[in-house]
Structure formats: C-alpha cells, structure tokens
Amino acid sequence: MESRVTAPGDAYRRPGRQNFLARLTTDMRRPGFAMVIGEMDRLMGCAFGFPVRGDGSWWFDFEGALPRHIDQLTVSGGVFAFGDIMIRPHPQDRALARRLLERLLTDHQASLGATLVDRADRPTLAALRSWGWTDVGELRRPAGPTTFRALAFPVGERTGVRVDSVVATRGGGGPGGA
C-alpha cells in the first residue's frame, strides 16, 4: 500500500487493493506469467507480467502506427507485458525497479518490456519515466472508457547493481493470454 500513497488533494485516485488483486488474479492465468519480489529486511517491491503473444493482440486499439521495432519484437516473441510494478518508496527505488524489470525481461529472453498506464495517473507515469520507460503512444481497450499511455522499457540500460535480493516466482498458464 505504501507504493500507492497519493498526496493530499491528488485528483487521481489510484486503484485500491481489490483492483490490484483482480489484476494479479487475471494475469496469473496467462501463459508465461511470472513475478519477481525484491526484499531486504522486508518486502521492498514486486513486478509481474507475462509474455506478449506474437499475434500482436496486446497492441490492439493502439492509436496510430505502432513503432516498427516494437511490432517486430512482438512478432518474434521479444516483448514482456508488465501488469504491475510496485516499489516501496526509498532512496534506491530507481535501482530496485530496474533490477526487478530486467530480471523478468532476462528470464523471459525479452528485449522489451511494455506496460499500460491510465493517462490520468501522472504520478505513475512520472515514476516509470524516471526508471527509464519511454512513452510510445496511446491505446483504448474496448471494454472501458480509459485511455492508456503505452510505455516501453528496453533491455540493456544496466544499473551495475546485482540481482541477489530478487526472488522469481513462476505461475501457471491457464486459458487466455494477451
């Protein structure tokens, strides 16, 4: 919950615990689901997601043309979609976030991470951009009114920090997927 604290008067209300659990439950059913957890003397953060299917369906409803290199990586199976990234606020949050992201990408032999963020969620967008994510465009899922910013995280911007305190968790692959 600490990673989701909003400032007093913040117009954007971040999703609560129930929304997080619903996203986690849905993503756990996707083929290739994986989660990493960062720990020190307590839980410091986690990230989870799943490989993007090569048919490009994860990018449906992308507004405009999907950048060519992203389309090529998607077709070749080189994109991993992050369902959530939560980091407890602390001085090393950028390094920990990068370690978690790169661990999942490396484990899945992906060249690019992708995530969607409600465009009204300015604090999350700012945090992701500060961790090395690049804004690649917008898309709107047909099931809801929310417009999302699509962000990409390329493998390769190494932090020089070891991955010792990162624990990987793999889930089952039920029906579905994206």
Contact 117, 125 (CB under 8 A): yes
pLDDT at residue 76, as a whole number: 94
What is the Cα 51 distance to its own chain's centre? 11
Three-point CA angle 145, 146, 150, nearest 5°: 140
- b/e per residue, 12-25, with b = 16+ CB within 10 A? eeeeeeeebeeebe
DSSP 8-state symbol, 32: T
The helix or strand, by DSSP H or E, that contains position 34, with its residue range, turns out to be: strand 34-39
3-class secondary-structure state, position 25: helix
pLDDT at residue 64, as a whole number: 87
DSSP 8-state symbol, 3: G
pTM of the model: 0.75
pLDDT at residue 130, as a whole number: 86
- 53-85 confidence digits (pLDDT tens): 999 899 998 998 899 999 999 999 999 999 988
Instruction: Name the residue ranges covered by the structural domains of the chain.
Output: 15-159
How many CA within 13 A on the CB side of residue 22?
A: 5
Q: Which residues of the chain have pLDDT under 70?
A: 1-17, 90-93, 156-178
pLDDT at residue 3, as a whole number: 43
Contact 49, 27 (CB under 8 A): yes
Residue 178: which residues within 8 A CB-CB, separation 6 or more? 30, 50, 52, 53, 57, 58, 81
- Report whether CATH 3.40.630.30 matches the domain 15-159: yes
pLDDT at residue 150, as a whole number: 95
